[in-house]
Each structure stands twice: as C-alpha cells, then as structure tokens.
C-alpha cells in the first residue's frame, strides 16, 4: 500500500467519486474551505465530482451547494441517484424486493436475537421501537419491521432502498460476517458506522455498481475515475476505480481495497489529492520555461 505522496493520480481524470462521512467531511460534519475550493476547481477544470454515500437524500444539505454541473449524487449505498439541484429528487432507484426484505428480517431475528430494524423507503425512514433514534426523523412510523414492510397489494408501497439492522452487543465486523453468511445470497450487506449497524441493499446494489452505471452513461472508463473512501461500504468502489485512496483514518478493509492512501479526513485528505490531480492535468504542468 502506498501513500498519497508516492501514489500518482492517473494521467487523465474525468470523474472524482468521494464518500462523505469520514472521507470528505471532517468529524464535525463540515467541509473545510480548502476542500470546498478543491471541489470547485475540479469542476472548473472539467472533472465531474460525484458524492457517493450511504446517506439518504434528505441528509445531503451539507454538500448540496458544492455539486455543480450535473448536480447528481449517489445515495443510500447506490440504491438511489438524486438531483441535488432539485432538493434531492430521485432520478433513479434500485429497490429491494419486499419479500426478500421480510426474509432478511426473519432470518436475522433468528440468528442474531436482539437485532432491531429500520426500513429506508424512497419516501423516508421508519423504524422499530427498539431501534436507536440516531437522528430525529419527523413523520417516521414506529412499528415492527414486518408491519413497516407490509403492503396491501404488491407494488403499492414506496420502494425499499435499504434495511438497517442494529445490535447492541455484537462487534460490528462480527455482525457483518454473520449476516452475510446467513442471507448474503439475498441482499448486499455492508456497514459504514463504527457501531454494529448493518445496511442491506438489493443484491448487486452498491456504490460501485451504481457509479459504474453513471460512468457508462457518460462514456467514462474506470481508469479515468479517482475514488475516495474510508469504510467497508466503500470497498467495491475503491476496487472498481482505476485509482483510489483510503483515508488515513480508514477501516482496514478500505485500506486493502484502495490503490493508495491519503491523509485523514480532518486533514483535507481528498483536497490534497485533488490539488495534485489538477497540478498534473494543468496545461502549464508540462510547459518548459522559454
């Protein structure tokens, strides 16, 4: 594994894909002036910037002012593409089948007693009474997951983007391993929290697979993409991109998947690499003094 200082960016970068929490955002959930300037400079230079996050669209206000051009972001670990210029309007949804979601809930209840669930729909989140209220969500329904997933007629309910499973006692990576062994053939499991909180998406849905679709639409190859991340839900994206950087503060799985490393999120690790990309691609970069 190399560091940002000896892992050069590609000769041509057409798209930057960056996770938010623990990566682009500082620990206080803000963007530094240096990072804001780097993002603006990248887009000014013709490089598209995609925010690729586990966050739902309604939690994107912290960065919505810093997507220019296309205005798109990939949310919910790839289950939704949203237009941040239109208040998070859903452009594309890759939902989970409700019968599959019910089977996942049932199985996890059996193999990991004490698990509590939340259901992230295209219209918002709903959760069980025992699920920790990580953030106040006005309008959320509180009921057992089976009731939250019930629909009177098939297809009548809002699309299911994610199932979230939380456990108070299991170690995060142990919980992930157990869940994948039990129902990993039905859904795609990952995690992005330091706690034992798992996120389940439709099978094959990930940050990487949705980013690949967005790039294909633009004629952008993996070799022209630079990606940044810090947690297991970034692993596929870091592996897919031609050049990728794990943050200094990253989970070991993200470090193993990335082709390089950069400094921590609190030290503007993404901005450090973007500045190097822009210096390399600048028309003046290879000019000889006259």
At the top level of CATH, the class of 15-93+206-281 is: alpha beta
In whole angstroms, give the CA distance from residue 71 to residue 66: 9
**Alpha-carbon span 131 to 113, nearest angstrom:** 14
Backbone region of residue 281 per phi and psi (left: phi > 0; alpha: psi in -120 to 50; beta: other values): alpha
| Domain assignments of the chain as residue spans, ordered by start | 15-93+206-281, 98-202
Global confidence as pTM: 0.91
Residue found by looking up tokens 């990930």 in the block: 206
Q: Which of helix, strand or coil describes residue 78?
A: helix
- Residue 57, judged by CB atoms within 10 A of its CB (0-12, 13-18, 19+), counts as buried
Contact residues for 165 (Cβ-Cβ < 8 A; gap 6+): 108, 112, 115, 116, 117, 175, 179, 197, 198, 200
Residues 224 and 66: their CA atoms lie apart, in Å, by 21
Instruction: From first to last of the 290 residues of the chain, give the pLDDT tens digit.
Output: 445 545 777 889 999 999 999 999 999 999 999 999 999 999 999 999 999 999 999 889 889 888 887 889 999 999 999 999 998 899 999 999 999 999 999 999 999 999 999 999 999 999 999 998 777 677 899 999 999 999 988 888 899 999 999 999 999 999 999 999 999 999 999 999 999 999 999 999 999 999 999 999 999 999 999 999 999 999 999 999 999 999 999 999 999 999 999 999 999 999 999 999 999 886 544 333 33
For 98-202, CATH number out of 3.40.50.300, 3.10.20.30, 3.40.50.1820, 3.30.1240.10 equals 3.30.1240.10
């Amino acid at each position: 594994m190399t560091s940002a200082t000896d892992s050069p960016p590609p000769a041509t970068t057409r798209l930057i894909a960056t996770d938010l929490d623990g990566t682009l955002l500082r620990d206080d959930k803000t963007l530094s002036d240096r990072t804001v300037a780097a993002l603006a400079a990248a887009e000014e230079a013709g490089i598209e910037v995609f925010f690729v996050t586990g966050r739902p669209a309604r939690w994107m206000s912290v960065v919505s002012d810093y997507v220019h051009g296309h205005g798109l972001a990939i949310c919910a670990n790839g289950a939704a593409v949203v237009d941040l210029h239109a208040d998070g309007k859903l452009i594309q949804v890759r939902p989970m089948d409700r019968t599959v979601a019910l089977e996942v809930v049932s199985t996890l209840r059996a193999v990991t007693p004490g698990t509590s669930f939340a259901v992230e729909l295209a219209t918002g989140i709903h959760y069980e009474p025992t699920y920790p209220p990580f953030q106040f969500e006005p309008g959320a329904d509180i009921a057992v997951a089976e009731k939250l997933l019930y629909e009177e007629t098939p297809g009548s309910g809002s699309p299911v983007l994610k199932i979230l499973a939380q456990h108070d006692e299991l170690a995060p990576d142990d919980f992930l391993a157990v869940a994948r062994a039990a129902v990993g053939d039905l859904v795609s499991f990952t995690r992005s929290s330091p706690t034992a909180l798992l996120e389940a998406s439709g099978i094959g849905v990930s940050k990487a697979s949705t980013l690949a679709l967005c790039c294909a639409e633009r004629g952008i190859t993996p070799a022209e993409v630079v990606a940044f991340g810090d947690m297991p839900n970034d692993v596929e994206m870091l592996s897919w991109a031609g050049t990728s950087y794990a943050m200094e503060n990253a989970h070991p799985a993200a470090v193993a998947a990335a082709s390089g490393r950069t400094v921590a999120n609190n030290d503007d690790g993404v901005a450090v690499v973007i500045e190097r990309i822009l210096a390399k691609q600048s028309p003046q970069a290879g000019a000889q003094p006259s």
